[in-house]
């Protein structure tokens, strides 16, 4: 499976944020100096690093690794045998990197931390997407991400075949139960959202969460949204709700959905299934970066 090039991940703004994230991560890890590498390895020594795959999955983060290595040694060369989004097997070598030995050792842990995390997320996204094959349903991520590295985690979801939901609180209006409570009800929340958009002249999509058919009917009476999030509905109730909503708004299912019942939900015809576990409790892919001296 080849990585899809989604415009946002190729934009100048994204690249700028990625560079800032890497700079922050390197500063956090190195501090004033990598004392161990400087103490043990002569400055001019060269070395070769091999990224070994120790578990089957989807590889992700190779492009990030390239950037990390280059920041530490501009003369480093990296030969890749897979692309982000490719399936890898235990025993595969994802890439070979040659360059300054100190630089390779300094980069090792950051490269592994990022690639193992991203590959774990991409692997899970790929797996859940495969479970939905033959249906119209797409797998969505959420804002349940690790603070500071959301762009990497959402990038990994996309690499694995999932779909990115909103990136933050700034690019969409998503009215959830707490907003509804504090707005005075479903209809008030929608009215307030539209008044805000008119006042600020913002063009943002509106999605609203409903917890039962009473709230769903209120949304249908009120209108003015683009997507309805059906929270903690059973597959049978999702199927019923999708038929009621069909042709009016996009639908999303969330809550109580696991790997074992996900396909049942996908077969209801719902447009999206959001899965917080994609980024908040995924298992990292087991990778290892072995470094050998070059004569």
Q: At what angle do helices 101-131 and 150-159 cross, to 10 degrees?
A: 50
Q: At what angle do helices 101-131 and 12-30 cross, to 10 degrees?
A: 130
CB 76 within 8 Å of CB 100: yes
Structure tokens at 276: 């917080």
Between the CA atoms of 255, 261, 267 and 272, what dihedral angle is there, to the nearest 10 degrees?
30
DSSP symbol at 43? T
Beta bridge partner(s), residue 207: 174, 227
Catalytic residue among 67, 138, 143, 176: 176
Annotated active-site residue 48? The verdict is: no
**Angle, alpha carbons 255-126-281 (nearest 5°):** 50
Catalytic residue among 46, 50, 144, 191: 144
Annotated active-site residue 144? The verdict is: yes
CB 229 within 8 Å of CB 195: no
Structure tokens at 195: 């008044």
Q: How many residues does the chain have?
A: 295
3-state DSSP assignment of residue 176: coil
| Residue 45 backbone dihedrals phi, psi, to 5 degrees | -65, 140
Annotated active-site residue 231? The verdict is: yes
Do the strands 272-274 and 250-254 form a parallel or antiparallel pair, or are they unpaired?
Answer: parallel
Annotated active-site residue 4? The verdict is: no
The CA distance from 150 to 164, in Å, is 11
Catalytic residue among 16, 74, 90, 109: 109
Catalytic residue among 73, 141, 207, 231: 231
Instruction: Tell me which residues are annotated as active site.
Output: 109, 144, 176, 209, 231
């Amino acid at each position: 499976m080849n990585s899809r090039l989604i415009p946002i991940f190729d934009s100048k703004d994204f690249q700028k944020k990625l560079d800032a994230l890497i700079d922050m991560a390197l500063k956090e890890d190195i501090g004033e100096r990598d004392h161990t590498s400087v103490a043990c390895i002569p400055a001019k020594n060269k070395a070769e690093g091999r990224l070994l795959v120790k578990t089957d999955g989807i590889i992700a983060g190779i492009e990030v690794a390239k950037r990390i290595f280059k920041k530490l040694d501009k003369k480093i060369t990296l030969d890749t045998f897979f692309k982000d989004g490719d399936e890898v097997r235990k025993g595969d070598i994802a890439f070979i990197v040659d360059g300054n030995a100190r630089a390779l050792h300094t980069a090792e842990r950051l490269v592994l931390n990022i690639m193992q995390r991203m590959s774990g997320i991409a692997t899970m996204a790929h797996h859940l997407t495969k479970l939905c094959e033959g249906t119209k349903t797409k797998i969505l991520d959420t804002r349940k991400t690790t603070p500071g590295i959301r762009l990497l985690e959402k990038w990994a979801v996309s690499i694995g075949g999932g779909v990115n939901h909103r990136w933050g609180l700034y690019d969409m209006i998503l009215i959830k139960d707490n907003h509804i409570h504090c707005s005075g009800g479903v209809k008030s929340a929608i009215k307030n959202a539209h008044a805000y958009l008119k006042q600020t002249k913002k063009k943002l999509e509106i999605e609203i969460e409903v917890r039962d058919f009473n709230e769903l009917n209120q949304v249908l009476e009120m209108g003015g949204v683009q997507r309805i999030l059906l929270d903690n509905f059973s597959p049978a109730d999702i199927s019923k709700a999708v038929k009621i909503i069909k042709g009016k708004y996009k639908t999303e299912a969330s809550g109580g959905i696991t790997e074992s019942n996900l396909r049942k939900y996908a077969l209801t015809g719902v447009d999206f299934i959001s899965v917080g576990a994609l980024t908040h409790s995924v298992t990292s892919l087991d990778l290892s970066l072995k470094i050998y001296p070059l004569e």
